[in-house]
Amino acid sequence: MPSVLFVCVHNAGRSQMAAAFLTHLAGDRIEVRSAGSAPADAVNPAVVEAMSEVGIDITAQVPKVLTVDAVQSSDVCITMGCGDVCPVFPGKRYLDWTLDDPAGQGVEAVRPIRDEIRTRVEHLAKELLDT
């Protein structure tokens, strides 16, 4: 089973949305993780609201700290604005998705970020599940 790790700075917005979309699309066919280089105390409320608008409940999610183990045990590591803090290991696939940060934004600003993440995750899921 392929495994994917989504990483952003606070693990309170982009990486949480990406992980939720991939879990929603792939179910138990892909192992999904998310983490942050400097995790926040809670998931961004505007992100929670934006995801609930598309039928995905992430209210129980909590930001998690990025660990070397999480990277080592993932086949694909997708970073979203966390710079060079993600450790790099041979044989892993790394992608960097340039996306606006929803931190401090209202739900109106989060919706286009959410929709862009959904599009990227749909392509990723198709690619991983078709191989």
Residues annotated as catalytic (active site), given as ranges: 8, 82, 86
CB 14 within 8 A of CB 101: yes
Q: Of 43, 2, 39, nearest to 20 (Cα)?
A: 43
Distance CA 114, CA 92 (A): 26
Residue type, 9: V
Per DSSP, the residues of 28-77 read GGSEEEEEESS--SS--HHHHHHHHHTT---TT----B--HHHHHT-SEE
